[in-house]
Structure formats: C-alpha cells, structure tokens
Amino acid sequence: MRKSIAITAAGLAVTVFGLTACGSGSDSGKSGGKADDTLVVGATAVPAGEVLTYIKDDLAAKAGLKLEIREFTDYVLPNTALQEGSLDANLYQNQPFLDEFNKSKNTDLVSVVKAYLPPMGVYSKKIKDIAKLADGATVAVPNETTNEGRALKLLAAKGLITLKKGAGTDASPADISSNPKHLKFKELDPAQLPRSLDDLDVAVINNNYAQDAGLSPAKDAILLESAKDNPYANLLAVKRGNEDDPRVEKLAKLLVSSDVKKFIAEKYKGSVLPVTSG
C-alpha cells in the first residue's frame, strides 16, 4: 500500500553523535541562539553526515562554530525533531519534500541554503543498460510522496513512461498515462530498495541509500538525474524564525564555501554534485 509522508516514524533507529546524550539542542526552537552555543544538526549518514563531519573537523573551529551532528536513518524524524526543538537545523531533504512535509504535518520549517545535489539513480543487478529493460519488467520506486514523484519523473525523462499532463512532485503510478514497456511498479520504503535489488529488474534509489549500500551513483547507476534545472538539491533547514541565528548563518556560509565544494568533488567524484549558491 502506498504510504504518504505522514507515515508513523516510531521504531525507526536513530544514532546520536556528539556530547549531548539527550534533551534539546542549545536554544532549540528559539530565534537567535547565542553565537557560542553548540548548533545541533540532524542529518542522514551519506552524504549529509559526511559533509557535516568534514565541516566540524576541519572548518568549524576557525569559523567560530561549535557543531553537534545527530544522525538519522529515515526521512521523517529529522523534521519532527526540528519542529519540536530537539534540533537547531537539519540537512538531508530537498525543497519539494520540505514543502510536502510542511503541508501534510502542519510544520513550519524553511530552507536557509542549498548545499549539494545528490542525484537519484536507477540501479539493477540484471542489466547494465537502461535501454535493455525488458517488456513487463518490475520497477521499484520509493513509496514516499515526493520521492516517488521524483523517481517517476526520472523514468519519464528517459521516455520509459509518460505522465499525465500536470502531474507534479506528488505523482504516483496512477498518474502514468503511457507505459509502452508495460512496466510493473512496486512501491517500497526508500531504505529497503537497495536490499531488494536481487528480487527486482530495476529500482530507483535515493542517493544516500544507494551510497549506504556501497553503490556508486556515478559508476553503478544505469540512469542518473541531470543536474541541469534540478529542483532536488539538498538544503539546510530550520524552524521558521531561526534563519538569522548566527550559528545557522555560519554553517550556511561554510556549506557553500570553496572548501566544501572541493571536498564534495574529491570525495564523491560525481556521485554528489556541489551547489555554490543558495
């Protein structure tokens, strides 16, 4: 059954890094945290957690920023924690996802700056060329609203399907108007997609889960999103009213710095693309 972004997040694992064992972040949920307080940021492990760890280890001290990273394994808890105040900011989502989350969960979260683009890709253990996708093949897509729409738009851009006119970021298989290869769609939890590849013809997988599973988007994807006019750059988000927090401003500046751009280019070699402006 297709799940929306409002799925219950209870029971999903969260790994917490940093000095604070529990409780809220410094001045979390309050506008204008003190500049010398620790900024508590939620993130998924790859690439967000790795980018933030680089900033924490190599750049933060010089910028006068104290940074604590809390790592999450799903796409819901980082936003609920930010809204509730146990995080000061998070880094893992794109604007369409944030907009849908705010709409469905009645949250008040806003983007501060775009940091990088983790291109979504199509992966397979059975074929090495998307053109070889067989008639009637089984295609798995994420079962979350905006990620599913993003996956279908990627397939449509390649001409594998056609979406109904006006289908937006929340497109689902019901919005497919033409399916010349008679593809069969299977909707799975995003984190489950890499583990299910053996049982599928292809799967459309979010960048962070692909890399967590040891897949290289630049090398292993048989179809990868283009960076041109792509709305899915990951962004630094805060609760509305905290955009001008001096700690947030410092992190935002570092995220688009030449040092971070170089780190992303060297570490991910095309599997994650840097963004140089917000």
Q: Answer yes or no: pTM beyond 0.75.
A: yes
| Rounded Cα distance, 249 and 46, in Å | 23
Q: For the segment 202-259, what is each residue's pLDDT rounded down to a tens digit? A: 999 999 999 999 999 999 999 999 888 899 999 999 999 999 999 999 999 999 999 9
Q: What angle do CA 142, 145, 146 make, to 5 degrees?
A: 90
pLDDT, block means (10 residues), the chain with 278 residues = 40 36 41 76 97 98 98 97 98 97 97 97 98 98 96 97 95 98 98 97 97 96 92 97 98 97 96 75
| Rounded Cα distance, 151 and 94, in Å | 14
Report which secondary-structure segment, H or E, holds 67.
Answer: strand 66-72
- Please give the share of the chain, as a percent, with pLDDT higher than 90: 82
**Res 64: pLDDT:** 97
**Res 227: pLDDT:** 84
97: Cβ–Cβ under 8 A, 6 or more apart, which residues?
5, 75, 144, 146, 147
Closest CA to 46 of 76, 20, 69: 69
**Res 276: pLDDT:** 55
